[in-house]
Structure 1
Amino acid sequence: MARARATALLVDFDGVLRRWDPAVAAGVEREYGLSAGVLGEIAESWGLLQPVLTGRVSHAEWVSSVADALTPSVGDPERARAAVRQWQSYRGEVDPQVLAFLREVRAAGVRVGLGTNASDLLDADLAALGLTDELDVVVNSSAIGVHKPAKEYFQAACLALEAAPDRVLFVDDEDRAISGARVAGLSAYRWTGPADLRYLRAALGC
């Protein structure tokens, strides 16, 4: 039996709606004499990342912990903090094709939620990128205390969207998140790029 068409769309932020130019981090690493990729390796190490994604520490505290971990590579705490501040000052860019798609979806009467593992800086990022009024719901892991791919995260997202799990289509660029959404009963589509929008439009009837 075919699933009913989705009445709500839940879309990931980083890697789907927001893009990051890798040249920015690479430029900071070159300027400060760091090995390529070290900023991402430290910042995304689970011991530092997990607390900020669940709201146990603030974004500012996470940035400080990244600078502390980077200090041995730089040799000077002040220089490490400067490198991390410069790297973090770049807040990414909106994918215009994805944004146009979200507008189409909302115009067709489908509720749109942002489903993201993020820090308490998310609202400021959305405002800076002009996205505050582009979404019906924002489900931020640090605000609800649980992150993707946990089943509880997706349950909270469905409640926020006021939709049953089987009427929500979730789009993300990470396999673990896709698997978690399916366990929670959502339809889920693995994002690979704007070429996927044709399928998603058809799936939503837009």
Structure 2
Amino acid sequence: MARQRPTALLIDLDGVLRRWDPEVGAAVDRKYDLPAGTLLDTAMRWPLLQPAITGQRSHADWLADVAGALAETVGGRERAQAAVDEWAAHRGTVDPEALAFVRAVRANGVRVGLATNSTDALDADLATLDLVDEVDVVVNSSVLGVHKPTKDYFQQACLAVETPPQRVLFVDDDDRAVRGARVAGLSAYRWSGPEGLPYLRAALAR
């Protein structure tokens, strides 16, 4: 069967539309005498992260859980919470080329959904980043109760953009998410930077 041209776009937030400066986390690690990458690695531990991105724990609860996991290493719960709060205060920056792409796609009549594994802090983050009005719909895992790369997540994301999976293009920087989208019947592209934009523009040309 010939592949159908996509008529909707699902695009990831972190690593695609939002960039993170690794030096911010590195500076907090150094300030609290932690090995490089400790804060990020601890926060991304699946037993801590999964409840937060599926709505079982709030963003604040997740940060408290991370602080609890670090307390012994960093010299006490209070000091650990201070380190986590300082690390979490940075909310990233918008990739201007990715945003310009989204704007052009929408201007051409393609429906765009933000497809992200996130906590209940997402709405506040989108407001801080001035992204609230830049997409047609937000598909937040913590609202759905399921996360990428599950098939259920992608099925619900396609419903949110009101487009069947075979007509949806998904863009993410994570290989597992890309593979999961393909299993769910979507076209999917592994984002590695703006060099992929010509391909994506061609794929969505109408």
CA deviations 1:94-145 (Å, max 9, x no partner) are 0000000000000000000000000000000000000000000100000000
> Is 1:155 matched with 2:155?
yes
2:138 aligned partner: 138
Amino acid at match of 1:16: V
Which amino acid is the alignment partner of residue 166 of structure 2?
A: D
Matched with 1:176 is 176
Shift in Å at residue 40 of structure 1?
Answer: 1.1
Which stretches of structure 1, 4 residues or longer, exceed 2 Å deviation after superposition?
A: none
Structure 1 residue 4: Cα displacement: 1.8
Q: How many residues align?
A: 206
User: How do 1:1-206 residues align onto structure 2 when only pairs under 5 Å count?
Assistant: 1-205=1-205
TM-score of the two chains, using structure 2 as the length reference: 0.99
Q: TM-score, normalized by length of structure 1?
A: 0.99
Paired residue type of 1:38: T
Cα distance in 2 for partners of 1:38, 1:195 equals 31
In the aligned structure 2, how far is the partner of 1:182 from the partner of 1:25? 33
- Quote the Cα distance in structure 1 between the aligned partners of 2:57 and 2:32: 27
* RMSD of equivalent CA atoms: 0.7
Q: Find the aligned partners of 2:41 and 2:29 in 1 and give their Cα distance.
A: 12
Where structure 1 has 5 or more consecutive residues not aligned to the other structure, the ranges are none
Distance in 2 separating the partners of 1:104 and 1:172: 18
Identity %: 66
Rounded to whole Å, the distance in 2 between the matches of 1:80 and 1:66 is 8
Deviation of 1:191 after TM superposition, in Å, equals 0.6
